């Protein structure tokens, strides 16, 4: 097992649709184990394969809502969501971040409910009905597999801000990545 580098916005792998997993091979098993390790080290509550440079439809998640600890891998996921509110997002309670735009957070409305159907590493199908932050995590990670970053969904003023930041940091072009445990050590 090893920690993998995390791609930063601009790397084409983050902006293209990932492909279905056709067979669970040893390579896939290693990838998923590395994704867990990378997510923990980052740290993050979710990580998509595209973020470690692999264009396959897999994400991992790790979230404790105080009652239940949700942790697992979703392979070839399907996501059904409730309608997204058109209200302005709340900066305190609805701000989202992404390991591929490290250090930034912006508010974004998401669906309150999301039903995830996917396969685990054993090839077993499962369904999770989620609300709140878990639903947000699923939507964020699922988007990654379609080549969509949360920055692509931001309302105008926030979209402008994140664009400015990306430019300032020298991101937005191919070849930028960071290593959990080595870079971005400041809280
Ligand atoms: Zn992300």
pLDDT, tens digit, 9 for 90 and up, residues 62-72 = 999 999 999 99
- The reply to whether 73 belongs to the active site is no
Q: How sure is the predictor about 187, in pLDDT bands with cuts at 50, 70 and 90?
A: very low
Residues less than 5 Å from ion ligand 1, measured at CB: 98
Report the candidate in 39, 120, 33 with the shortest Cα–Cα distance to residue 77: 120
> What is the 114 CA–ligand 1 centroid distance (Å)?
17
Cα–Cα distance for residue pair 82/75, rounded to 1 Å: 22
Q: Is the pLDDT of residue 75 over 80?
A: yes
Pairing of strands 69-81, 95-97: unpaired
Q: Which two tokens stand for residue 160?
A: 């402008």
Domains (ranges, CATH) in the chain? Answer: 6-178 (3.90.45.10)
> What is the 115 CA–ligand 1 centroid distance (Å)?
19
Q: How sure is the predictor about 185, in pLDDT bands with cuts at 50, 70 and 90?
A: low
Sequence-ordered list of residues with C-beta below 8 angstroms from that of 68, at least 6 positions apart, any chain:
none
Q: Which two tokens stand for residue 107?
A: 């508010």
């Amino acid at each position: 097992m090893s920690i993998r580098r995390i791609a930063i916005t601009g790397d084409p792998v983050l902006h293209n649709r990932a492909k279905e997993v056709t067979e669970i091979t040893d390579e896939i098993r290693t990838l998923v184990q590395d994704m867990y390790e990378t997510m923990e080290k980052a740290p993050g509550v979710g990580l998509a394969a595209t973020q470690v440079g692999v264009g396959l439809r897999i994400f991992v998640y790790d979230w404790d809502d105080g009652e239940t600890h949700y942790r697992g891998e979703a392979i070839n996921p399907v996501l059904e969501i409730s309608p997204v509110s058109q209200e302005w997002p709340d900066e305190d309670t609805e701000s989202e971040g992404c390991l591929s735009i490290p250090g930034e957070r912006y508010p974004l409305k998401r669906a309150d409910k999301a039903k995830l159907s996917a396969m685990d590493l054993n090839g077993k199908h499962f369904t999770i009905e989620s609300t709140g932050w878990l639903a947000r995590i699923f939507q964020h990670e699922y988007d990654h597999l379609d080549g969509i970053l949360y920055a692509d969904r931001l309302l105008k003023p926030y979209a402008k801000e994140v664009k400015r930041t990306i430019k300032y940091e020298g991101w937005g072009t191919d070849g930028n990545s960071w290593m959990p445990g080595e870079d971005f050590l400041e809280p």
